[in-house]
Chains A and B, each alone.
Chain A
Amino acid sequence: MPAEPSAVKTPLYDVHLGLSAQLVDFAGHLMPLRYASETAEHRAVRTAAGLFDLSHMGEIFVTGAEAAAALDYALVGNLSALAVGRARYTMLCAHDGGVLDDLIVYRLADETFLVVANAANRAVVGAALTERAAGFDAAVEDRSDAYALVALQGPDAAVLLAAVTDVPLDGLRYYAILAGRVGGVDALIARTGYTGEDGFELFVSARDAVAVWKTFEDKATPAGLAARDSLRLEAGMPLYGHELTAETSPFDANLGRVVKLDKPGDFVGKAALAAQAATPPGRRLVGLVARGRRAPRQGYAVVTADGTPCGVVTSGAPSPTLGRPVAMAYLDGGVAEEGLAVDVRGRPEAVDVVALPFYKRS
């Protein structure tokens, strides 16, 4: 996939070149797909620690006396109930309930929220938040270009980070954030991630990106988007554009719990989402484990024993941890889970339906 000349270089671009990364155009950014072996990168995150450049993600700040109220109206979650220093996984939905992006919102102070958007949706999220905050005493500012985001993920992440930070990590819970110094630079340290492992996401000034990366480069394995995708798939985490789209409701994706219908006041999409909550969704997101060696891929049909299409794969890849290909797929309503196969380029390949996630850290 040749990169467009217009693709944005992250502050770590030269570091990636120095590590001989294979760079690809991902949502308009030149990002490392892999450095050497994506399977080795994946295993490093499961067994030790991996280091990711996530500077393509969007950092949008919502501030002001009514910032919490504006987010309650704009998003499906109850953000005014979020304690300072905590994070929440939530969604921006359209009026019809379709998902425009899935987000993590951090409350940095009473009147300061950091909304982290997917790179491809950064503009959509910024525009929607601006429009939806219009009636509130709240300001929306996209500061993505000022920030770099580096993720340190894996069972060794806490030990590696503790050695170079001044903040006590024992008190930093999962889905919490605090400000501190990391390797001599100012950072927002969040205990969040997208790999199924313990780990941290470090928001730093773009000019400090290389310094914070170099702090960990020799101790953690640099890992690219390929490993990130197989890790999140094993952990059963949805990816926008795959499991989640504007045509998907949170309920389809088994994520109805993030829709807080009982929060005070109205919010965008509430009426449609309330109706969906009352009616079971016609389809459901399931995990598939292939019996053979062929991986189900996005867009492949799920078929019944007699070959009738009954669903579609949203993500699929060989799972380094399970040693077999795994996939997430939407199954049509009422379809029995026995005897299913995926149509792999014209040939049915048997799959078993399993509960998500495929992998859970012990």
Chain B
Amino acid sequence: MSVPEELRYSEEHEWVAGLDGESGIVTVGITAHAADALGEIVFLELQPAEGDTVEAGESCGEVESTKSVSELYSPVTGEVTAVNAAVIDEPKVINDDPYGEGWIFKVRIADEPGDLLDATAYGKLIEED
């Protein structure tokens, strides 16, 4: 299962891109491992809209697959600056391209991100799963 080196990961299987960027805006999605475990994603509900704030570790939506429903957690704290309307319309994009077209939302981070994992640590976590 692919675990891109440049990303950071939460224990709840979200990925964060752009932490080292100067804009302070990061992109959030769910990992290939999580998408695969869920099966085909048929519905995505994102509670915050653009301009709302999210809290690291707090539930901010639900991901529903053909077989099950899971909470979606925000891996970072800050203001939502963009929501990927394309994945709300067609959630299966998350299965097809979890680290690309399947991104879910962008956040202008307000706090230092806490306990995010690097690719090695996340790779180990999913091995143990």
Residues of A within 8 A of B (CB): 2, 22, 33-34, 37-39, 226, 230, 293-295, 297, 317-318, 345
Cα–Cα distance between A230 and B42 once the two chains are bound (Å): 14
Asked, given contacts A2-B129, A22-B36, A345-B62, whether A317 binds B67 with beta carbons under 8 Å apart, the answer is yes
6 residue pairs, one from A and one from B, having the closest CB atoms: A293-B43, A318-B42, A318-B66, A39-B40, A38-B66, A317-B66
With CB as the reference atom, state the residue of chain B lying closest to A292.
B43
Q: Which of A37, A293, A297, A345 contacts B40 (CB 8 A)?
A: A37
Q: Do B64 and A294 have beta carbons less than 8 Å apart? A: yes
B32-71 CB contacts (< 8 Å) to partner A: 36, 39-40, 42-43, 62, 64, 66-69
Give every chain A residue within 8 A of B36 (Cβ-Cβ): 22
Q: Do B39 and A226 have beta carbons less than 8 Å apart? A: yes
Asked, given contacts A2-B129, A22-B36, whether A226 binds B66 with beta carbons under 8 Å apart, the answer is yes
With CB as the reference atom, state the residue of chain B lying closest to A347.
B45
Q: Dominant SS at the A interface?
A: mixed
Residues of B within 8 A of A (CB): 36, 39-40, 42-43, 62, 64, 66-69, 129
Name 25 interchain pairs, CB-CB below 8 A, sorted by A.
Answer: A2-B129, A22-B36, A34-B39, A37-B40, A38-B40, A38-B66, A38-B67, A39-B40, A39-B66, A226-B39, A226-B66, A226-B67, A230-B66, A293-B42, A293-B43, A294-B64, A295-B42, A295-B64, A297-B68, A297-B69, A317-B66, A317-B67, A318-B42, A318-B66, A345-B62
With CB as the reference atom, state the residue of chain A lying closest to B36.
A22
Give every chain B residue within 8 A of A39 (Cβ-Cβ): 40, 66
Q: Do A38 and B129 have beta carbons less than 8 Å apart? A: no
Give every chain A residue within 8 A of B64 (Cβ-Cβ): 294-295
Contacts A293-B42, A297-B69, A317-B66 supplied; 20 other A-B pairs, CB < 8 Å: A22-B36, A33-B39, A34-B39, A37-B40, A38-B40, A38-B67, A39-B66, A226-B39, A226-B66, A226-B67, A230-B66, A293-B43, A294-B43, A295-B42, A295-B43, A295-B64, A297-B68, A318-B42, A318-B66, A345-B62
Cα–Cα distance between A56 and B90 once the two chains are bound (Å): 36
Cα–Cα distance between A37 and B41 once the two chains are bound (Å): 11
Q: Do A345 and B69 have beta carbons less than 8 Å apart? A: yes
